[in-house]
A and B are shown apart, each in its own frame.
Chain A
């Protein structure tokens, strides 16, 4: 592991350097929201933010993506595959919770006999430069899910704001290689590293919102028919915001657009999601759909991959129009007596 530092005012020079060989994607402030976009000489990456409105999944799993195009003539058809993406990408300013979400998505989308090539090809070409959180929000609960405000899971490099400069920590060889080319970075001083450590432990302590997940998956095994689902779904509008903005939710629909086969984000919270051609719907009301979302995150995924499918980023808590708080749902499950 190597430690470097960079003066804040030199950060754009670093981005410029990286942009020579990579497409750099980083947070950009637009009015009141921060979104990750392609950084060019026209705009400047902003590392002073809580978190991006949309999670980084959209870089690898865009909201709309062409799978292939085709041409048809009277008695023939031809498929034109989208060219493989060769361009290397560097994602700058990825928060630890979001970086962890990519690790979970990797697990899911590379599992089984058939892999999701569209996601994996882009992922393979990407380097993740994370950014530790010094000031977690009241909606952050990453530590309950095995994460931390200075967690490095899924990252190649980790940046930390230590007032006048960023402390840079190498996490993987890939990250180290990226830095090798930038000769003017300074080695971190002992004091810088100590300062970083202090900020990390302060931040860890500042994540006050905690839920206990120890027995949640087990309890959910016995709660499929629990009347509790009828209650919690009452105020949900079924808008799907919680799933669209969730860094791990990756359900999609496939449809035709002109002469293209396209996939788009979809949500288990929508009525039509599981509706069958016969008219039969296994999840006819909000109750079944809410249950699906919670079960998938805290029981089904745990069974298949040994981890919860949530990283505690708090987006669904912040953005839900009716304040349906997933932490409260988990707490209620945890407190529930089941035989």
Chain B
């Protein structure tokens, strides 16, 4: 029987500090065994359990696009034991990865349609994976208009600046990057994500919306999404719960009879409305 609790060994190839506070870093990982990389087939919106030996394990969304074949990336905020140990690791350190887990975004459903991507804070990680996947030359034709709305507290907290710069040069994406309050030196959009979404007002016609962010952003974004005419089955959210096993066994991440790790973490707004409010 295949043992799902045993991680694959990976080497940290590159560490990129993403923000001014230096508490968000992106880790580029390569599998020690190339076969394991190939069998780690993942889709946008899935997550993995990252092991730092001596510290423990935690679930992290996959931030790279499945089109990148030789490495996977995770963007991690330093909050506790495992994430701090990871932040203290240096390039070349061997850590563990098991997964991919969870359902991921509904890629098939998005094909042939407009996609509206709304994200706030560092929860943008899997949305970055999604955006890069759609924008890949092998995939771009399969999707119609792409609108991205991404907000951070201030310019220093914006992550993936290098991607944002590259996306900004393209004509086939409607990119809207915003910060909460005006600061000198920032010439882009200013305002909270829900307000910017209202302003940009992407059409809900033949469109799917994907929303990830802190609870407060979600709370104020959903009414705007509704006003724009998106029906609850066409809106997808990614949830975060405390997780341990990632495979529906440790009993930690349930909302009602659903386990977020295996039945989610992506749910439609319609599904969420049917679930008990315990998240």
Question: Which residues of A does B touch, CB under 8 Å?
Answer: 67-68, 70, 72, 75-79, 81, 108-109, 111-118, 120-121, 224, 250-256, 259, 261, 263, 266, 268, 273-278, 280, 282-283, 288, 292, 295-296, 299-301, 303-304
A70 touching B215 by the CB < 8 A rule?
no
Q: Which of A254, A276, A277 contacts B250 (CB 8 A)?
A: A254
27 CB-based A-B contacts, threshold 8 Å: A67-B5, A68-B6, A77-B53, A78-B9, A79-B9, A108-B249, A112-B247, A114-B247, A116-B249, A121-B1, A224-B278, A250-B249, A256-B54, A256-B56, A259-B53, A261-B57, A266-B250, A266-B251, A274-B241, A274-B252, A274-B253, A278-B79, A282-B255, A283-B278, A288-B278, A299-B257, A304-B257
- Residue B88 at the chain A interface, CB threshold 8 Å: no
A276 touching B242 by the CB < 8 A rule?
yes
A250 touching B251 by the CB < 8 A rule?
yes
A81/B6 contact (C-beta < 8 A), A72-B94, A266-B250 known: yes
B53 touching A117 by the CB < 8 A rule?
no
- For A70, the chain B residues whose CB sits under 8 A away are 53
In the complex the two chains form, what is the Cα distance from A283 to B58 in whole Å?
20
- For B168, the chain A residues whose CB sits under 8 A away are none
A224/B276 contact (C-beta < 8 A), A77-B94, A251-B251 known: yes
A277/B94 contact (C-beta < 8 A), A79-B6, A81-B6 known: no
- Residue B83 at the chain A interface, CB threshold 8 Å: yes
- Residue B96 at the chain A interface, CB threshold 8 Å: yes
Please provide the 10 A-B residue pairs with the shortest distance between their CB atoms, ordered closest to farther.
Answer: A251-B251, A114-B247, A300-B257, A114-B4, A77-B94, A277-B79, A303-B257, A224-B276, A117-B1, A256-B56
Question: Which residues of B does A touch, CB under 8 Å?
Answer: 1-7, 9, 51, 53-58, 79-80, 83, 92-96, 215, 240-242, 244-245, 247-257, 262, 276-279
A253/B247 contact (C-beta < 8 A), A79-B7, A304-B257 known: no
B79 touching A268 by the CB < 8 A rule?
no
Number of A-B contacts (CB under 8 A): 120
In the complex the two chains form, what is the Cα distance from A115 to B4 in whole Å?
7
- For B96, the chain A residues whose CB sits under 8 A away are 77, 79
A112/B252 contact (C-beta < 8 A), A117-B1, A117-B4, A256-B55 known: no
Chain A CB within 10 Å, residue with most, of B79, B83, B242, B247: B242
Shortest C-beta distance, B78 to chain A (Å), equals: 10
In the complex the two chains form, what is the Cα distance from A261 to B252 in whole Å?
18
Q: Beyond A75-B93, A108-B249: 20 further Cβ-contacts under 8 Å?
A: A72-B54, A72-B94, A75-B94, A77-B9, A77-B53, A81-B3, A112-B262, A113-B247, A114-B248, A117-B2, A252-B244, A254-B250, A259-B53, A282-B241, A283-B278, A288-B278, A296-B254, A299-B257, A300-B256, A304-B257
In the complex the two chains form, what is the Cα distance from A75 to B250 in whole Å?
31
In the complex the two chains form, what is the Cα distance from A261 to B7 in whole Å?
11
Q: Which of B80, B248, B276 contacts A111 (CB 8 A)?
A: B248
- For B1, the chain A residues whose CB sits under 8 A away are 115, 117, 120-121
Shortest C-beta distance, A111 to chain B (Å), equals: 7
B249 touching A109 by the CB < 8 A rule?
yes
In the complex the two chains form, what is the Cα distance from A117 to B255 in whole Å?
25
Q: Which of A109, A224, A252, A274 contacts B242 (CB 8 A)?
A: A274
In the complex the two chains form, what is the Cα distance from A88 to B255 in whole Å?
38
